[in-house]
Structure 1
């Protein structure tokens, strides 16, 4: 970890500079060049605001808008390469030396470092606006929790880095997943109290965290922890915010949850100085480098998600190869503007549906499922059996979130269905320990207190 942590002081200053050049107005702050010293960052509101912006800009990295979709989708039963050639991810043969896994680990910890820097700097300052300070710390805690959520779900026990002090963080041992989740819940609970309740502070752009982003992640975390009542409560808190959020209906290229600042989006990651998305222009472009493994069989007849969110892929001679994800439509120069969307309202309905089944609220669960099905132009469910409803919710989650933020991989893990689902696929060399990614060799070399992931 030391070689990672020690370089972050330079990275953090770089992102402060980048924060001045973004095209998103809500992340633009005029910062004099002579104020870039870390000693003065937290002496004035404009420079502190730029530091907060730096956390978000550290998320404009490959993990957050590419690998979170493509790598996690391949290690699950979701995505396969169009060319038919297995990758280390689609075959689940990832090694500790894999450069992509090392980069993912580093990018998540880089964002955490930037968040810790803001928390420490703002907390120690005696000159900043008190109200703004609370919001900035809340934003940093939310983003730290978001990163730790993915770290612990991908790698299990991980170092719980809560400081910028390299002497402390460089040789931290792994914390248990229970401890990491406890910190996530603490950070999100704190953040929910002090984050804004709308986007007015952000020029009505949905590119920074609100109270409802924290509540959304709390709903997800409680679902993963099996705390059904808490999951339903947090989900309802967001769903009931009808002034801020509503499900996008009439799906089309110009009317989707991925359009910038649409009312289904809860948090989006902006692209600076460009108006296309990497998802639309590269990883899930109409070139179709990755196909949906289940293809057309995933969808019911008439499902609008199949019609609007996929594209047929054929080879040069016109032979049909399969369907590819095409949720993001922005190629280079396309419009309307889209953004990567890590949190959106549809997830809350399916979280609450699952929690309601567990709580034996069958009617409520049906209502939530039908919101998602009706948006996809499908009829209401008539199922009443709890197990059948849970299976339907899992299927609707797969249909709704395919190739999106690693949902399928994480769903299979949290429900204990990885082994039975992946072990039967002939192109996978599956073993139970593959449920966790290997801690990168570089991190193991730099920190002797880290233990290799079991099975690697």
Structure 2
């Protein structure tokens, strides 16, 4: 039923080397064609740098600026559609034939292919600047690790592709999550050693990876693995860079952590010569209404929480009755000021990662200090909790408040802490089974590769 001869037609047929032209001020190298051979691309610094930019441009795609928020938000207890209509994500009844899940899988592997292309091409070149080559390979490894983080957390066991050779990659079996995480950690550790420590080479735009982006993602990965001391250490490494990174103390529109190149941003995705984001223009809004509501928006926040005041809005029906609370972290719909960028790593996460790690390491005072930085920024009182379990519950709540509708944090937090079943099984609009914790391997991938096994429950 699954034909091996189709291996060249699907799984990595989307692995086209794309995105070789620039975007934004720091990504403005032009090439004569986006079909240039590797031999041509990796003979000059300008074209090699453009190839690295192409990896970032492969992230200007539906998963990274839309589905990572909306699909993961709906499969968790976070987002519900304003129109009240059920869909396969909100009910957790996603079929293996779902086109969006198939696209997500493909977009993540497309980024990985482009990263592998850069790693191989730069490594083989004898004409490129040596120092720049180390940085380019490091950037590619970071972006490969970032993509694999989502692949293994959404699908579990996935093919671990570290080559552009389709004869090797097309029929790879799935690797278990420990193996994928080992590759992620290896890539990030090597990237951290060779990435720049500031944004000078990027014209001060926070749109390409630095050492601190690698350290931030390592902190997250170590937290997910339960390695508390290393999670705290990597988080601290970033938090100590106070000349570059500072927590935003005012969450109003003109000073939010989603404005381009703000002090809290560690890494943002640039778009094509526009000063608005897809999140602000289409993902969370629909004309003057809203696409999504926060399921627990009316009870999630404490009174006067600045995040509710500045990052949400009440949605009313035709009778002017409030029907719910909508996420509005991104404000600018079509070219308004200030310029915003889709933000994939920011400083607040590092405080909450370290707080959780410190509780696990029995550093209660240190955990309180980190939690209070986030609470005080939201205009809330210091926590006085000292019990470890209560502090962990508070950290989970602060993560829910801080990262709602943002990069799938809520879905991933419920998974890694073992809270999915107890949280989602009681929601009457969901048809919840424990196997829903993993998304289905897309049906076209299964057809193309007989060595892939569908996740349980599909």
TM-score by length of structure 2 reads: 0.97
3-state SS of paired residue (2:293): strand
Q: Deviations over 1:186-215 (max 9, x none)?
A: 000000000000000100000000000000
C-alpha distance 34-296 of structure 1, shift in aligned 2 (>3 A): closer
Deviation at 1:36, TM superposition (A): 2.6
Partner Cα separation in structure 2 for residue 7 and residue 203 of structure 1: 35
Counterpart position of 2:100: 100
Distance 1:76 1:319 in 2: 26
Whole-angstrom distance in 2 between the partners of 1:97 and 1:136: 36
Q: Which runs of 5+ in 1 are unaligned?
A: none
Query: Which segments of structure 1 move beyond 6 Å, counting only runs of 4 or more?
Result: none
Query: Is the partner of 2:38 in helix, strand or coil?
Result: coil
Q: Structure 1 CA distance, aligned partners of 2:10 and 2:244?
A: 39
Counterparts of 1:246 and 1:296 in 2: how far apart (Å)? 30
TM-score normalized by structure 1? 0.97
Please tell me whether residue 233 in structure 1 is matched to residue 233 in structure 2. yes
Distance in 2 between the 1:2 and 1:145 partners?
25
Give distance in 2, aligned partners of 1:393 and 1:34.
46
Alignment of 1:67-146 (within 5 A): 67-146=67-146
Q: What is the CA–CA distance in structure 1 between the aligned matches of 2:358 and 2:254, rounded to whole Å?
A: 33
Whole-angstrom distance in 2 between the partners of 1:375 and 1:273? 32
Aligned-pair distance for 1:34? 10
Match of 2:204 in 1: 204
Secondary structure at the counterpart of residue 323 of structure 2: strand
**Separation (CA, whole Å) in 2 of partners of 1:308 and 1:248:** 13
| 1:447 match | 449
CA contact (8 A) 1:354 1:390 kept: yes
Could you tell me how far 1:31 is from its partner in structure 2? Answer: 2.8
Distance in 1 (CA, whole Å) between partners of 2:189 and 2:44 is 27
Structure 2 residue 7 is matched with structure 1 residue 7? no
Which runs of no fewer than 5 residues in structure 2 stay unpaired? 1-6
Residues 381-390 or 24-33, more deviating: 24-33
Matches for 1:302-317 after TM superposition, within 5 Å:
302-317=304-319
Q: C-alpha distance in 2, partners of 1:43/1:416?
A: 49
Of 199-208 and 77-86, deviating more is 77-86
- Is it true that 1:216 corresponds to 2:216 in the alignment? yes
Q: Which residue of 2 aligns with 1:155?
A: 155
CA deviation map 1:232-265 (0-9, x unaligned): 0000000000011000111111110000000100
What is the match of residue 382 of structure 2? 380
The answer to whether the 8 Å contact 1:35/1:47 transfers is no
Structure 1 position 273, deviation (Å):
2.2
SS of residue matched to 1:237: helix
- Secondary structure of the 1:297 match is coil
Aligned length: 450
Cα shift readout 1:395-442 (whole Å, capped 9, x = no counterpart): 000000000000000000000000000000000000000000000001
Aligned to 2:4: none
**1:56-112: per-residue Cα shift (whole Å, max 9, x none)?**
000000100000000000000000011112211011000000000000000000000
Distance 1:31 1:359 in 2: 52
1:296 is aligned to 2:298: yes
Shift of 1:287: 2.2
Separation in 1, partners of 2:143, 2:9: 23
Q: Distance in 2 between matches of 1:34 and 1:259?
A: 31
| Contact 1:157-1:177 at 8 Å conserved across structures | yes
RMSD: 1.2
1:320 CA drift (Å): 1.2
Q: 1:353 touches 1:368 (CA, 8 Å); kept in 2?
A: yes
Q: How big is the shift at 1:35?
A: 8.9
Task: Work out the CA distance in 2 between the residues paired with 1:296 and 1:215.
Answer: 35
